Structure 1
Amino acid sequence: PASVTDLGAKAFLFCNKLASVTLPADLTELKAGTFNGTKALTSIAIPATVTSIGDECFLDSGLAGEITLPRDLANIGSGAFVRCPITSFSVAPGNTNFTKVGECIYSADKRLLYLYPMACANTVVTVDNACVGIAGGAFWNSNVTKVTLPEGFRAFDEFSFCQAASLTEINMPSTVVFLGEQSFAGTGLTSFTVPEGVVMLPEAVFASSPALSTVTLPSSLTYMDIRVFLGCTALTTVNSYASTAPTLEDWYEEYESPFYNVPSTCKLHVPAGCKSNYTGSWTDVFTSSRIIEDLPGYAAVETITPADGNTVESLTYIQMNFAADSSATYTVQSEQPAITVQAGPLAAGVPVGDIVAVDHWTASLAGTASSLTLTPRTANGAVQPLNLADGTEYYITIPAGIVADNTGKVNERRVLHYVGSYVELPSFEPTSFNPENDATIRTFDGVTLNFDEDVTAVRSKLSGAKFLKGTMSDDGTVTGTDALGYDFEEWSLTTSKRSPRIWPADMDYYTVSVTLADYTDYYMIIPAGLFKNAAGVETEQFILHYSNGSTGVELVDESDTAVIVRTGAGSITVNAADAAVEVYTISGISVANTRTVSGEASISGLADGIYVVRTTQNGTVKTVKVRI
């Protein structure tokens, strides 16, 4: 009747002769298993008002052809349309919760893939780059053959590819951290590498995959549930990179073993030196002769700085010290390792917090020493301090294989946990500088900072002051060379409560004065924390820009049509009316004989540099400096 707004769970369960149904116009919900097993039901019009379709709602029904998801639909349960010969899905106009990309149905933001038609003619699927997860049963029993996943993809829900017997190819992004129950049970895959970062394998995740012959388990794996590889009758090789054997869930019936009905010839390969860790339940499955230590072993780490679990304010490096071994020499295998920093909690043992942006990390050893230093850096290579916010948990994942010793041992993957203690204090700054930022000056002999409150100086910070000749990148980083010359000995400070002065001094404490070159940029870097006020708040770093804008000559304005000077590639063009023209280098060397120009004339074959153009017209002399 029209008054019905929802249909109860399993309302038409196994109604095999139900061939058609008319749903009320105001229906809002189809609950779990409502039409489960309705083999004769080949089509259905779902009212626009339906907001939820429950788990396995149409499982094993006869729905075929195209199914339209209604306008108000907001929730699709796990396996809602599994084992139905549906060839395509569409989304009704006005639905803002789902979208169709290719043959698949995604959430509106494309982060979650919900549906793929089981009988779709296109069996090759490229998952959208925005997608991070596949919902339960999305490809269950489908005829998909190949799937390409984007880097950044994170999780497979339960039954994602269960019984997708034609699936023979799928890539595993390094970002994957979760595999759901039976997510790859019954596929046609011949090999599978579980990505680093996955910590547990759920029940029957690969069960009944008849072609699966090789499986690689990551060093991060700590737990395996029952029946993980049940019925994988072709499985011959299991590579386990965990130094400590993952815990196997207890089983009480023989068929619950994670390796039930796996060939007795299957071999377990483990890291060198770790066979003794694979005991107990593991030896119930693999005899000693079938556990082989031929994967790379791990160099023992004695200490880590900062220590795992510590409270840290600012992180500028991580140091790993390997156990002393006079015969071991280490070499860096990855100079820029893929280290990730996440701010936030763990979920099921996996870091799930926001990624903290670091341009890159570098790895270095002191020669062949046994101390590995990992440093966060900016794009131009400068150290990038990571301020860890007070009270926030951070997890830093360090991959295996950054270094190796001469026996083949490598560093083991580690996830370090820190608690932040950084509290950002309010900053204060001068009301003005003398010379001001971006000032045009001929000489530099120091900077005065003017405050509107009393300040004290931290002299130990003076060593960080610099005066450089160079350039500034878009991110505010200055690169260049020291501009102070041989006379400079150290930075000095004239104390004043409100107007302290920083100046470069020689060994006798006399001021070192620097003449600025023409057309050159200079930068004064005043280090952070050099001054603080009565409240203890410190100044930030300041970078002041100076240049010598004075040419010492009169510039010819473009509006002066009597003489116009232009530059090109290796040439200078002069446009004048009966003017005598001379061209010199900046050091006064003539590069063009005096000539009379009436109209336009060019002097070519010039090297890059600064030139002086002198024109004499009707007794009036004008000069202009130009750069090629």
Structure 2
Amino acid sequence: VETGNTACQAINGVLYSAEGNILLAYPLNATATEYTIADGCLGVGEGAFAHTTLQKVIVPEGMRAFDDNAFSESSLAEINFPESLVLFGNQAFAKTQLTTVVLPENMTNVYEGTFAQSTKLQSLTIPSGIRTIESYAFNGCTALTEIHCLGAEPATLNYYEGYDHPFNGIDASQVKVYVPKGFKSAYESSEWGYQFDNIIESNTGIFLQESTNPANDAEMESIGTIEITFPENASLVEQFPSVKVVKGQELYGEPVENAGGWMAFASGKKVNVFPADEYQEGPQPIPMEDGVDYYVTIPAGIVKNAEGSLNQKIVLHFVGKIESGVDQIESNDCFVTNNNGTLNIVLGNLTDCTVELFNATGNLINSISHAQGTATLHVESNGLYIIRIVSGDTIKTFKIVK
């Protein structure tokens, strides 16, 4: 790369874009068997490692995508997939030497021929976020013997004829497909049941939600408390989940941050997840732009049921909508006063309220039904407490320290 080149740069003999965020080409004549992609790189360009003799590649956290044919027909046998990855292009890993593949949690699709003709591939794990697997994706992976499907809903297998089936050219009788406990029938009644005879329930189930409030695709002014209802009682595993919010597009959208992160509390069959303020003293709704798409990803493993089954990842789509007039929630004048453990909950204009008191671990301590005006609760021990108020579709949460 000549001095002064404004399009490219060489980093230790490997060609990158001038900014260092795209790896453009790895030299075909290199003799090394292992390579670490430079920090700050977001993507590997089309065919960048194709036909190389590299056997191991180390990928930094923050990497987003591998373009078409990125590693096709190379000697690649080992690579890590950071959580940040969202896209593998067509034939990105076709005819490689990989033996085990665990697809990234945040990918949504496996594209055409991505791992085709990888004849040493034995084990494949498909996370719950994968929605579609396109034609030829695993075509000719003749060594494949086990597929671990982690989602409650089977990924759609897209193809036109039998020859372009995502798993064409595989002896289906030698493949065991492991699915979550309780969801075998869902897979058997899908295209998976037509393709594979050995569908086996694993010992681990999924704690699948029944509904969310707000519902998916709701139009609203801000992202506040999200109430998740489960079919049975939920207990909290993670009080400060790593919820992600982006606007614009689900996979490539602009991140939306809030100073206090997110908090979660469980009560019976309901779990509240909300953006906290910078002091983590209560909800801090995230304003939404009018007409803009927002995607909220609630991670897996924040709650469990009595059997120990964990929730799977929940992705919700909302649309910003600015209403005219006064904000009804703000006009309620709802607040809490704390007089040495005597909690007076002023409900303002809210009526027929359920007022619940939780300790710091999310356990329900006390509750009042059909409250209006002012409700009073008492706490004896010092510590952190959460008050949740539910009135119809309105949910308000307060953090109290005694």
Residue in structure 1 matched with residue 180 of structure 2 by the alignment: 271
Q: In structure 2, what residue type is equivalent to 1:145?
A: Q
What's the CA shift string for 1:308-362, capped at 9, x where partnerless?
1111212221110112x4xxx42222222221100113xxxx4321000134222
Among 291, 304, 323, which residue is 1:404 paired with? 304
Taking structure 1 as reference, are residues 315 and 119 closer, same or farther at Cα in structure 2, changes over 3 Å only?
A: same
Instruction: Give, in whole Å, the separation in 2 of the partners of 1:143 and 1:459.
Output: 67
Work out whether 1:101 is the aligned partner of 2:30. Answer: no
- Tell me, yes or no, if the aligned pair for 2:172 and 2:195 is still in contact at 8 Å: no
Residue in structure 2 matched with residue 335 of structure 1 by the alignment: 239
- Tell me, yes or no, if the aligned pair for 1:344 and 1:351 is still in contact at 8 Å: no
Cα shift at 1:96: 0.6
Work out whether 1:371 is the aligned partner of 2:270. Answer: yes
TM-score by structure 1 length?
A: 0.50
What percent identity do the matched residue pairs reach? 32
Residue in structure 1 matched with residue 256 of structure 2 by the alignment: 356
Q: In structure 1, what residue type is equivalent to 2:234?
A: Y
Residue in structure 1 matched with residue 205 of structure 2 by the alignment: 297
Cα shift at 1:241: 1.5
CA RMSD of aligned residues (A): 2.9
Instruction: Give, in whole Å, the separation in 1 of the partners of 2:331 and 2:240.
Output: 36
What's the CA shift string for 1:255-290, capped at 9, x where partnerless?
755242346221001112222222353233211xx1
Work out whether 1:206 is the aligned partner of 2:115. Answer: yes
| Unpaired runs of at least 5, structure 2 | 345-402
Q: In structure 2, what residue type is equivalent to 1:334?
A: E
Cα shift at 1:253: 4.4
| Unpaired runs of at least 5, structure 1 | 1-90, 426-457, 467-481, 490-628
Worse-matched range after superposition: 373-382 or 110-119: 373-382
Q: In structure 1, what residue type is equivalent to 2:54?
A: V
Q: Secondary structure at the match of 2:16?
A: strand
What's the CA shift string for 1:149-204, capped at 9, x where partnerless?
22221111111111112x22211111111111111112222211111221211222
Q: Secondary structure at the match of 2:194?
A: helix
Residue in structure 2 matched with residue 183 of structure 1 by the alignment: 92
Residue in structure 2 matched with residue 312 of structure 1 by the alignment: 220
The 5 Å alignment of 1:417-566 reads 417-422=317-322, 461=333
Work out whether 1:130 is the aligned partner of 2:29. Answer: no
Instruction: Give, in whole Å, the separation in 2 of the partners of 1:114 and 1:138.
Output: 5
- Tell me, yes or no, if the aligned pair for 1:188 and 1:210 is still in contact at 8 Å: yes
Q: In structure 1, what residue type is equivalent to 2:144?
A: L
Residue in structure 2 matched with residue 161 of structure 1 by the alignment: 71
Q: Secondary structure at the match of 1:415?
A: strand
Q: In structure 1, what residue type is equivalent to 2:211?
A: T
Residue in structure 1 matched with residue 150 of structure 2 by the alignment: 241
Instruction: Give, in whole Å, the separation in 2 of the partners of 1:155 and 1:250.
Output: 24
Taking structure 1 as reference, are residues 249 and 384 closer, same or farther at Cα in structure 2, changes over 3 Å only?
A: same
Residue in structure 2 matched with residue 152 of structure 1 by the alignment: 62
Aligned length: 337
Higher RCO, 1 or 2 (CA under 8 Å, sep at least 6)?
2
Instruction: Give, in whole Å, the separation in 1 of the partners of 2:174 and 2:143.
Output: 10
What's the CA shift string for 1:560-603, capped at 9, x where partnerless?
xxxxxxxxxxxxxxxxxxxxxxxxxxxxxxxxxxxxxxxxxxxx
Cα shift at 1:207: 1.7
Question: Based on CA coordinates, which of the two structures has the bigger radius of gyration?
Answer: 1
- Tell me, yes or no, if the aligned pair for 1:251 and 1:257 is still in contact at 8 Å: no
Among 113, 117, 129, which residue is 1:220 paired with? 129
TM-score by structure 2 length?
A: 0.76
Q: In structure 2, what residue type is equivalent to 1:375?
A: F
Instruction: Give, in whole Å, the separation in 2 of the partners of 1:170 and 1:355.
Output: 27
- Tell me, yes or no, if the aligned pair for 2:94 and 2:115 is still in contact at 8 Å: yes
Taking structure 1 as reference, are residues 154 and 423 closer, same or farther at Cα in structure 2, changes over 3 Å only?
A: farther
Residue in structure 1 matched with residue 354 of structure 2 by the alignment: none
What's the CA shift string for 1:487-535, capped at 9, x where partnerless?
xx9xxxxxxxxxxxxxxxxxxxxxxxxxxxxxxxxxxxxxxxxxxxxxx
- Tell me, yes or no, if the aligned pair for 1:230 and 1:262 is still in contact at 8 Å: no
Q: Secondary structure at the match of 2:202?
A: strand
- Tell me, yes or no, if the aligned pair for 2:144 and 2:170 is still in contact at 8 Å: no
Instruction: Give, in whole Å, the separation in 1 of the partners of 2:212 and 2:164.
Output: 43
Residue in structure 2 matched with residue 54 of structure 1 by the alignment: none
Instruction: Give, in whole Å, the separation in 2 of the partners of 1:249 and 1:397.
Output: 25
Work out whether 1:252 is the aligned partner of 2:170. Answer: no
Q: In structure 1, what residue type is equivalent to 2:244?
A: T
- Tell me, yes or no, if the aligned pair for 1:181 and 1:202 is still in contact at 8 Å: yes
Instruction: Give, in whole Å, the separation in 1 of the partners of 2:100 and 2:86.
Output: 18
Instruction: Give, in whole Å, the separation in 2 of the partners of 1:213 and 1:97.
Output: 40
Cα shift at 1:396: 0.5
